[in-house]
Structure formats: C-alpha cells, structure tokens
Amino acid sequence: MARARVKLAMILDENKRRATLKKKRLALIKRLQILSVLCKVEVCMIICDSLNVQGTDNLTVWPSRQDAEIMVSSFMSALEQKRNNKMVTHDMFLESMLVKEKNKLQALKKKNDQMEFEDFLHKLHSAPTSIDPLNGKLSQAYFYIEELIKKIEEKESLSQNARDVNVT
C-alpha cells in the first residue's frame, strides 16, 4: 500500500517535532551509508539543529567530526574548476529545468502543428471546395507532406537494406 503524502509544514508539537527530527536524521544517515557503500564515494553530513537540548553543540556530524573536516578541507582545497563541475546551484538547477520545459513545449507545438495539418488534409480530402486555396496552411501542409514522404522513403531504404543483408 502506498504511503500518504507528508504535509510540508512545521510540526507545532515540540516533542513530536524532536521525535520526527530524530527519525529523519537516522533515516538520512542510513541512506548516506548505503550511498557511500554502493557508489564508493566519500560522503559526510552536517546537520545543525536548534532542538538539541543535551548541550550547546547543536551539530550532528556523520561519519565523524574528524572525517567530515578532512572531506570538507579536501573539497575546498581542490581546484575551483573541479569543485564547480560537481556543484549544482539553485540557478543552474532552475535553468536546466527551464531548458527541459522549453524542449517539452517545442515537442508539443510540433505535435499540435502536425495534428492541425492532418485535420487540414482530411478536410481537403473530404470537401476540397470548402478550403480556401489562399489559406497559409496550404503551403505549410505541402512542407509537412514533403517531410512525411522523406520519412517513408527512409523507412523503405532501411527495409530494403535489411532485405539485402538477409538475402546474402
């Protein structure tokens, strides 16, 4: 059975919030351990929380404070170009999402144009006198038909080549 979606809002009950933080922190540590073993990568985690009531140090560091310091210092000492290759900023993430969405939009526009041309061709075939020949869609339909003919010819040549290979 699927889990219910978690509502992303601050938990008002202090005890419940502390318990949830503890559970989520342990789950995150477990995921990091799995990631480091499966992918053979160095992983560290630093969580600074305000719910730690035991002492003044509100940091949770995994795997250990010394290991995390070594990893962070080695990362910071690496060449800036190498560091930047592995980093993704919020702007970079949003930009990549924008490019993906633009590509989806172009694909949808192309599919919409194709459907309009097919509708136009069906109308032209069923009632040629009802279509205005000066309509701009007629020239667009010509180019669409040319593309279809090229695709058909490519498929025919590929199937012919496959038959030639099978014969020999």
For residue range 36-48, what is the model confidence (pLDDT) as tens digits?
999 998 899 988 8
Sign (positive/negative) of CA torsion 44, 47, 52, 54? positive
The model's pLDDT over 60-71, given as tens digits with 9 standing for 90+, comes to 889 999 999 998
The model's pLDDT over 130-157, given as tens digits with 9 standing for 90+, comes to 666 556 666 777 777 788 889 899 988 8
pLDDT of 76: 81
List the alpha helices (DSSP H) in 40-136: 65-77, 80-86, 90-126
The model's pLDDT over 83-113, given as tens digits with 9 standing for 90+, comes to 777 778 888 889 999 999 999 999 999 898 8
- Percent of the chain at pLDDT > 70 equals 84
The one-letter amino acid at 148: L
